[in-house]
Amino acid sequence: MSRFVLFLLLLVESLWLGSSIYFSAFAANELFAQLSENAAAAAVGALFPTYFLLSGIFSVLTVVLYVWLRDVLPLSRKSAKFGMGSAIVGAVFALINLLYMLPHIQRIERVMGPIQSASAAMVQKFGMWHGISMLFDLIMMVCAFLVLISMAVTLPLRLTR
């Protein structure tokens, strides 16, 4: 059973980090490169709820699976504790983005309307909140990467011939 749970942990962690890197580094940039600013903003805005929901689910599952494997993973070791701590911090930032930042930014967007016709004050307000949300997203991605690094250090590697 512990091998299956370990497989799930590796799978969930890979999905968490992979989807975060893909969306933040590739998908959003490509949309803004190929579409008008308003169309790209609308497309990315439509993807954010799902992206933040998946980040929240993957990060919380990582924490749950880490706890489940506490007897298998040597959690007394610093690297395993660091991984668990990174998973918790990543989950907190993912959930803040999902449950607080996203609804707040969506309210600002509804009041602001299309960015080209919005007042400078509304664009500045949107930009500030969006920037904070993206900082939280970056912190979450770094945490996911740190979990992966700590797992690589913590998990025993057995090579057989």
Q: Per the structure, how many domains does the chain have?
A: 1
Q: Is the pLDDT of residue 70 over 60?
A: yes
Percent of all residues in the chain with a pLDDT value above 90, rounded to a whole number: 49
* Mean pLDDT on 143-156: 84
161, part of any domain? no
Whether 72 is in a domain gets the answer yes
The answer to the question of residue 160 being in a domain is: no
Task: Please compute the mean of the pLDDT values over residues 27-36 and round it to a whole number.
Answer: 90
Give the tens place of pLDDT for each residue, 72-116: 666 557 777 888 899 999 999 999 999 999 999 999 988 988 877
- Residue 92: per-residue pLDDT: 94
Helix ranges, 22-118 (H): 28-34, 37-68, 78-96, 102-112
Residue 41 lies in a domain: yes
Residue 132 in any domain: the answer is yes
Q: Determine the structural domain holding residue 6 and report its residue range.
A: 2-154
Whether residue 137 contacts residue 24, with contact meaning beta carbons closer than 8 Å, is answered with: yes
